[in-house]
Structure 1
Amino acid sequence: MGFANMLRRLLLSVLMATVLGRGTSLQYSSDMCNWKGSGLTHESHKKDVEQVYLRCAEGSVEWLYPTGALIVNLRPNTFTSAYKHLTVCIKPFKDSKGANIYLEKTGELKLLVKDGDNNPNRVHCFGIGQGGLFIEATPQQDISRKITGFQYELISQRTLSDLHTVSDPCRPCGDTEVLLAVCISDFVVRGSIRAVTDDAEQQESIIEVSVDKLFKQKSKVFLPNKEGGGWEGLIRTPLECGVKAGAGDFLFTGRMHFGEPRLGCAPRYRDFQRIYQEAKNKGLNPCEITTD
């Protein structure tokens, strides 16, 4: 049976369950951001479908002992005109297994994450208008210790484009992107690269930053160093970007992505000062910052 036909049959079972007044499964816990449930509430011979509705900018889905299927509907907590421009990103748990994750729209399925393909550094993104998430349990002789799960984030396309931490993380930023990054980044600091550690398994570089001036941060990425008189912290970026330790001051910007600080624009500080002053002289700065 083709995927589309199978999906239509499963969706029909949801409709029939509603008409007959019976639920398809019982949740362990649920809130606006996170869902946790179990396939053990399904009868093993039935292809039951659980409908999950989440209304949050970020959260997680955790499905224990998966059987049948889940349909996960992700929406922001407030409806705005920018809704259709949101991008959804999902990151499977490290040990996620037991189900395939598809992008579904009007009965058509596109495989996003194959059962067992849980590269801890792999993030899957798609436009919110491209469809919803359809999660189908794979046939298992033994479903014990099987958990399918992932984190999700809803990101505005403006943020995604301006910071390009997901879409194109290794591309150097243009002048306008640098100025916008100062305004909308989760963290903005002036500092230098103390060391870079390459993690081949995670395919990431971990940048150890010594901070001279902390302009802003939403999370505790940077903390006072033990010697006093400055701050320090770690920022992550893909290994393929080839970041190396070197002399000089930089303006480090970026955003929190799945709970980790990801590097955005990072021009040399003297170049940022020039860009900022030229824009200020023309009255084109999107926001103000003290550059001295």
Structure 2
Amino acid sequence: MLSPMLASLLPVVLLWRLSLGQYSSDQCSWKGSGLTHEGHTRDVEQVYLRCSQGSLEWLYPTGAIIVNLRPNTLSPASARLSVCIKPSADSRGTNVYLDRNGRLRLLLREQDQALGKVQCFGITEGALFIEAVPHRDISRRITAFRYELLSERLGPDALSPTAPCKPCSDAEILLAACTSDFVARGSIRTVEREAERTSVAVDISRLYRQKTQVFAPGGVRVRRWTGSINMPLQCAAKAGEGDFLFTGLVRFGEAWMGCAPRYKDFLRLYEEARQQGSNPCQVDTD
């Protein structure tokens, strides 16, 4: 059920004041204060963000803001991008909707933001309409989240705890070794099932690539790394079963498992593809 504020918005969108308050923005991140709306609780601020990832922080929210998320460069592939947002643990004070040509769809309630669950949607589904929830005391209300744009190939389901677990094909394994956010050879130390994910602690003997530092150095004399990789709950994993080639995505600073063949199987696939000249890239397997 729409709030009274939103109910009045739909038939009379033009009655809102589109204001240009004093806010901090650098094309990737935005920070503002609802105190600039004081006395104008029906003001709507337009925000434009033009990066693949960034953040938003709205202090003392009043009125509403519309957040337009777009990539830096537009191309036919841009329409196939997905957007994922992750609220901070202390985010509150607003409801978040998707606004497409004046039609609003609830994405995130105020009381759900503290859970920190990632919410994803197609970039063509609309802009974010963030509406302040009326409170007598707004001094402790801050809405904050991080966002990332994902390509169609990666997809928003990569972060879903209910994402299906299916074996990667030979072609997918070879492509993952070339295009993943992280590629590492190592073993599984422990497996822990959490409330909404399976967390796999790994020991890395060779680190080919990592987009951000999800694996930390684990020794001075011997070059080894340690870290953890997330998987959907229903994915099976066991500790102490030999070496794997771990590949996957980094989302909001966390590693998520993609293809993870046994290392000996990857070597066989890689050598066969090398002889056929069909490898998508070169990997140093020595």
TM-score for both structures, normalised by structure 1: 0.87
Give CA-to-partner distance per residue, 1:112-163, whole Å, 9 cap, x none: 11112025452111111111110011121221201111110011112338xx
Deviation of the 1:41 alpha carbon: 1.0
User: Which residue of the partner structure matches residue 247 of structure 2?
Assistant: 253
8 Å CA contact 1:4–1:108 kept in 2: the answer is no
User: Which residue of the partner structure matches residue 203 of structure 2?
Assistant: 210
Question: What do you get for the CA RMSD once the two structures are aligned?
Answer: 2.3
8 Å CA contact 2:88–2:116 kept in 1: the answer is no
Deviation of the 1:33 alpha carbon: 0.7
Runs (5+) with no aligned partner, structure 1: 18-22
SS at match of 1:207: strand
8 Å CA contact 1:49–1:71 kept in 2: the answer is yes
- Paired AA for residue 13 in structure 1: W
Deviation of the 1:270 alpha carbon: 1.8
Deviation of the 1:44 alpha carbon: 4.2
Give CA-to-partner distance per residue, 1:84-123, whole Å, 9 cap, x none: 1111111111111111111110111111111120254521
User: Which residue of the partner structure matches residue 264 of structure 2?
Assistant: 270
2:229 matches 1:236: yes
Query: Of residues 262, 274, 280 in structure 1, which corresponds to 2:274?
Result: 280
2:144 matches 1:143: no
State how far apart, in whole Å, the 1-side matches of 2:48 and 2:20 are.
14
Query: Of residues 143, 146, 152 in structure 1, which corresponds to 2:147?
Result: 152
Query: Of residues 88, 92, 96 in structure 1, which corresponds to 2:87?
Result: 92
- Paired AA for residue 9 in structure 1: V
User: Which residue of the partner structure matches residue 214 of structure 2?
Assistant: 221
- Paired AA for residue 154 in structure 1: L
Deviation of the 1:282 alpha carbon: 2.9
2:124 matches 1:129: yes
Identity %: 53
Q: Which moved more, 1:229-238 or 1:79-88?
A: 229-238
Question: Relative to 1, partners in 2 of residues 1:217 and 1:46: Cα closer, same or farther, differing over 3 Å?
Answer: closer
Query: Of residues 166, 172, 178 in structure 2, which corresponds to 1:171?
Result: 166
Give CA-to-partner distance per residue, 1:63-94, whole Å, 9 cap, x none: 11111001001111122232111111111111
State how far apart, in whole Å, the 1-side matches of 2:116 and 2:272 are.
38
8 Å CA contact 1:4–1:109 kept in 2: the answer is no
8 Å CA contact 1:165–1:254 kept in 2: the answer is no
Runs (5+) with no aligned partner, structure 2: none
- Paired AA for residue 186 in structure 1: D
Give CA-to-partner distance per residue, 1:175-210, whole Å, 9 cap, x none: 22211111111111111012233443xx33332211
Query: Of residues 28, 32, 44 in structure 2, which corresponds to 1:33?
Result: 28
SS at match of 2:144: strand
2:72 matches 1:77: yes
State how far apart, in whole Å, the 1-side matches of 2:257 and 2:14 are.
41
User: Which residue of the partner structure matches residue 187 of structure 1?
Assistant: 182
Q: How many residues align?
A: 280
State how far apart, in whole Å, the 2-side matches of 1:185 and 1:38 are.
38
User: Which residue of the partner structure matches residue 9 of structure 1?
Assistant: 12
Question: Relative to 1, partners in 2 of residues 1:12 and 1:264: Cα closer, same or farther, differing over 3 Å?
Answer: farther
State how far apart, in whole Å, the 2-side matches of 1:48 and 1:190 are.
53
State how far apart, in whole Å, the 2-side matches of 1:156 and 1:242 are.
26
